[in-house]
Amino acid sequence: METVGDSVPNGTAPPRTTLDIVKERFKEDEVILSIFDAYQIIGHEYTNRLLALVSSASGGTFAIIAFSYLRTPPLTTVNELIINKVFAIDSSFQIRQDSMGSINTQQFDLSTAEDGPFKYYYFPTESSNYEDFHAKITSCQRSMAQYDPEAVLNFRWLNDYRQIGEVKQELKKRESEYIVYEDIHIFCATWNVNNKPCGDGENPLRSWLGHTAQPPDIYAIGLQELYAPAKAMAYEMVKTTQMGGIEKTWIDKIMASLHPDAKYEVLGTQRLVATMLTVIVRQQIRPQITRCRLKTVARGVFNALGNKGGVGISLQLNEGNLCFINSHLAAHMANVEERNADYNAIVQGMTFDDGRTISDHDHIFWVGDLNYRIQEPPGQQRPGPMSDAQTYELLLQYDQLRQEMQRGKCFEGYTEGDIKFRPTYKYDPGTDTYDSSEKQRAPAYCDRVLWKGTRIEQLAYNSIMEIRQSDHKPVYAVFRVKIKTRDAVKYKRVQEEVLKAVDKRENDNQPQINVEKTVIDFGSVRFNEPVTQNFTVFNNCPLPVDFSFKEKDIHAICEPWLHVDPRHDSLLIDSARSIRLKMHVSVRTIAGLLRKIRQSDNFDILILHVENGRDIFITVTGDYQPSCFGLSMETMCRTDRPLGEYTQEQIKQLINDDSPEYRVTMPREFFLLIDFLYKQGPKQEGAFPSYDSRQSLGSQFNLLRDWLDSWSDEPFPVNAETAAQALLLLLDLPEQALLEPFVEDLLTCSNKSRAMDYISLLSPPKRNVFMHLCMFLRAGIESQYYDLQQVASIFGRILLRSGECTAWMDYHSRCVQFMRLFIDNDMESLGNGNDGAGSGDRTAGLQA
């Protein structure tokens, strides 16, 4: 049954599937067998990945390519895929269901010998069917295991995906814009020299190698049966003994016989026993050759001795890859199969060090004594020296090489030019006469030049009759090859554009978040009154973003009076998060805040860091409403109005003022607290329960704070306990202890008059506060409202607060001892009594 509503509107292309898009990323001979959506698990992070199972026809192998997304899926164009990992499905490849994972049924990992394991996770949905994906991988692995070990399989196709930077990927895509083709003349030659010397004279081979109209750019000269004494046939022996000299003699003669109109140098020469391949290049193109590798494949006796076999040279000229092979295949009329086997063995064995095989080249030239013979018809095999083209054509019908090639037994994909010359074998040395010996070997086209690849045009193919010392005639072929070359100017332009585009993409895709505001103003901030502000961060960039508040020099993300929540988080696209910032000027943080205010206009600057992106500075400000708590006695003595009437800026000036002039002898706030407590009489009993009591502020505290900071005319608002607590704080909160800078001196002097010397050196406000306090405590102790030991301990540690001395073993007892000098009525008589308040009426000074 047809559904009407499903029809696609006319003219609209059907939407492209993810598979369609991913396909664009691969070459024509690569097939995507399956794609699978997963997340890679890195630490605790889950990152989107697209896994593609791909098979390559050219390599005959499989691989999984893991892509990361430049943008959050779904995919819209192929450019959003970045290759993240490449897993070749070779013998070391493993896919493992991860039983250790917390969500084990949906977790698996992939590994190869070089890499991994990498952990992946998936949602079991219809679109990503893990069972199917897994089954396909398993079947790839199985077919991998069944490969014929002799088969030519490789993973070289993966190199285009592996470790290839974005720039290179992009440059490859735009190759057509800067690639031009340059004509190169290549002269390929082969000669079985029949163990004979190369000939006399300066350039004995010129008629073979140096006769072309135009000097070739590259020579590839293959020789076979270089002089080798039979007993020195063993490869190693030959290598180290006489052959070196012979090789050099030949190369020297070859060099002397090259085209006279150009300068040449040997790029590489490779010899296998008596088979040698030499590649010679014009000096002027030498700098364009960026790679050259050599390789031999031994055949012959036991398929190893190397009396037969092949040598190869692989090189890269500009952007073109060239391969030259010289081979000497099995001899004798009947050994066609052996020749085919030799050929196949050379193809399989000829893998250069960089992993390149013969077929991985753009242009391949194969020369050599291939030894294929002419089988029929007898009587036609001895054409006269002047035989015409028809005769050669007739002979070639019976040429084993052409027959075998036609049957697909060897040289698949290779081409050979028309042969318009006499069979090159076998002559009576020194003559142009075919074998007249007893054996009467049939003439044959043993010596051939074949090619495979693109943009190759043969210009000549011939033999040289007049070089006669061997029983073979030398053969040559000239080719014009169009070599892929970068146009330097165009390439530079394209590369610049690519770099720019890649940079731009990276800049544009930088994770970004927006903040609602970069200045967080708390407004009025007061001591002991926490306030909070919220601000929003939102992600409107096309990627999920991680953000965090960065630690600063102080190894914290913010000053102690601030609290940030959350400190870090992830934001999906188009999502927002509210950040809660709490400010609490507490007993613990007031000193630091006042210090900060002295130097700065803000409470703090937070660094909001976007992972892989920018940092945003968030300035935290507000008006700190000054209070007496935390201020030094000196500062309080400089005030001319209630602290509540000061602004933050005014208090900053007041704090920074260090003139010795004071408006009052002791802080009014301090005086009022003492006055209140004193007047409480017995109600003040036990008002100082412990040293720690100064920390936990009761609910009544802020009433007292406001009363003090406003110079209120209202009655004292709180009870004795709260007043006592406030007194302790007033003395304890300032940055500097009341008895600084003499704390250490005072702790070490046991005698009251020495102590008094120091006390008298204190600033007047501090001195007055100290004396007034001692008087008050003495009175309280005398009336037995307070326990001497207890208040000595509490006040000692506050007045003599010290970072360094606290570490002393007897710090605490010294504090008590010191206080006792001043508040112990029994010890009072021991002092000299010059405390200004007089000992006669100790309470006189406490009267308001």
Partner 1 sequence: MAKKTYDLLFKLLLIGDSGVGKTCILFRFSDDAFTSTFISTIGIDFKIKTVELRGKKIKLQIWDTAGQERFHTITTSYYRGAMGIMLVYDITNEKSFENIVKWLRNIDEHANEDVEKMILGNKCDMTDKRVVNKERGEAIAREHGIRFMETSAKSNINIERAFCELAEAILDKTSGRESAENPERVIIDRRNNEKAPGYSKCCA
Q: Which residues bind partner 1 (CB under 8 A)?
A: 68, 82-86, 162-168, 239, 244, 248, 251, 265-272, 286-287, 289-296, 352-353, 495, 499, 502-504, 506-507, 510, 518, 552-553, 600-602, 605, 607-608, 614-617, 619
Which uninterrupted H or E stretch holds 337?
A: helix 336-349
Give Cα separations from 291 to 102, 162, 321 (angstroms): 50, 20, 9
| Coil/strand/helix, residue 590 | helix
Give Cα separations from 766 to 627, 755, 820 (angstroms): 18, 14, 19
Shorter beta-carbon distance to partner 1: residue 294 or 815: 294
Q: How far is the CB of 86 from partner 1 (least distance, A)?
A: 7
Shorter beta-carbon distance to partner 1: residue 171 or 816: 171
Q: Name, in order, each residue with C-beta under 8 angstroms of 511's C-beta and a sequence gap of 6 or more.
A: 541, 543, 545, 546, 610, 611, 612, 613
Shorter beta-carbon distance to partner 1: residue 289 or 394: 289
Shorter beta-carbon distance to partner 1: residue 209 or 777: 209
Shorter beta-carbon distance to partner 1: residue 85 or 473: 85
Strand-pair partners of 585? 527
Contact 208, 188 (CB under 8 A): no
Q: Show the tokens assigned to 250.
A: 């030949």
Contact 773, 780 (CB under 8 A): no
Q: How far is the CB of 503 from partner 1 (least distance, A)?
A: 5
Q: Show the tokens assigned to 229.
A: 């004494």
Shorter beta-carbon distance to partner 1: residue 266 or 572: 266
Q: How far is the CB of 502 from partner 1 (least distance, A)?
A: 6
Shorter beta-carbon distance to partner 1: residue 602 or 693: 602
Q: How far is the CB of 85 from partner 1 (least distance, A)?
A: 7
Shorter beta-carbon distance to partner 1: residue 96 or 293: 293
Give Cα separations from 812 to 56, 456, 796 (angstroms): 82, 99, 8
Concatenate the DSSP letters of all residues of 376-436 into one string.
--TTSS---TT--HHHHHHHHTTBHHHHHHHTTSSSTT-B-PPP-S---B-B-TTSS-B--
Shorter beta-carbon distance to partner 1: residue 387 or 619: 619
| Coil/strand/helix, residue 206 | helix
Contact 547, 537 (CB under 8 A): yes
Shorter beta-carbon distance to partner 1: residue 180 or 502: 502
Q: What is the Rg, in whole angstroms, of the alpha carbon atoms belonging to the chain?
A: 49
Instruction: State the residue for tokens 């900071």.
Output: 709
Q: How far is the CB of 569 from partner 1 (least distance, A)?
A: 18
Q: How far is the CB of 195 from partner 1 (least distance, A)?
A: 20
Q: How far is the CB of 69 from partner 1 (least distance, A)?
A: 12
Strands 264-272 and 107-111: unpaired
- Long-range CB pairs of 382-385 (<8 Å, 24+ gap) are 382/434, 382/443, 383/422, 383/423, 383/443, 385/422, 385/432, 385/465
Which uninterrupted H or E stretch holds 776?
A: helix 764-782
- Strands in 151-217 per DSSP E: 179-192
Q: How far is the CB of 178 from partner 1 (least distance, A)?
A: 15
Q: How far is the CB of 112 from partner 1 (least distance, A)?
A: 14
Buried b (16+ CB within 10 A) or exposed e, 243-254: beebbeebbebb
Shorter beta-carbon distance to partner 1: residue 86 or 367: 86
| Coil/strand/helix, residue 514 | strand
- Please, how many CA atoms are within 13 Å of residue 567, restricted to the half-sphere of its CB? 7
Q: How far is the CB of 583 from partner 1 (least distance, A)?
A: 18
Q: How far is the CB of 92 from partner 1 (least distance, A)?
A: 19
Q: How far is the CB of 357 from partner 1 (least distance, A)?
A: 15
Q: Among 557, 547, 553, 605, which residue's Cα sits nearest to residue 577?
A: 547
Helix-then-strand count for the chain, H and E: 22, 27
Shorter beta-carbon distance to partner 1: residue 68 or 790: 68
Task: Work out the angle at residue 248's Cα, subtended by the Cα atoms of residues 244 and 254, and round it to the nearest 5 degrees.
Answer: 145
Burial environment of residue 362 by CB neighbours within 10 A (0 to 12, 13 to 18, 19 or more): buried
Q: Name, in order, each residue with C-beta under 8 angstroms of 614's C-beta and a sequence gap of 6 or more.
A: 510, 512
Strands 218-224 and 275-282: antiparallel
Shorter beta-carbon distance to partner 1: residue 141 or 619: 619
Shorter beta-carbon distance to partner 1: residue 134 or 239: 239
Q: How far is the CB of 491 from partner 1 (least distance, A)?
A: 12
C-alpha 621/C-alpha 603 separation (Å) is: 5
For the chain, the straight-line distance linking the first and the last C-alpha, in angstroms and rounded, comes to 105
C-alpha 756/C-alpha 751 separation (Å) is: 9
Strand-pair partners of 367? 326, 449
Q: How far is the CB of 496 from partner 1 (least distance, A)?
A: 8
Q: Show the tokens assigned to 541.
A: 């960039």
Q: Name, in order, each residue with C-beta under 8 angstroms of 488's C-beta and a sequence gap of 6 or more.
A: none
Q: How far is the CB of 780 from partner 1 (least distance, A)?
A: 48
Q: How far is the CB of 498 from partner 1 (least distance, A)?
A: 9
Q: How far is the CB of 450 from partner 1 (least distance, A)?
A: 25
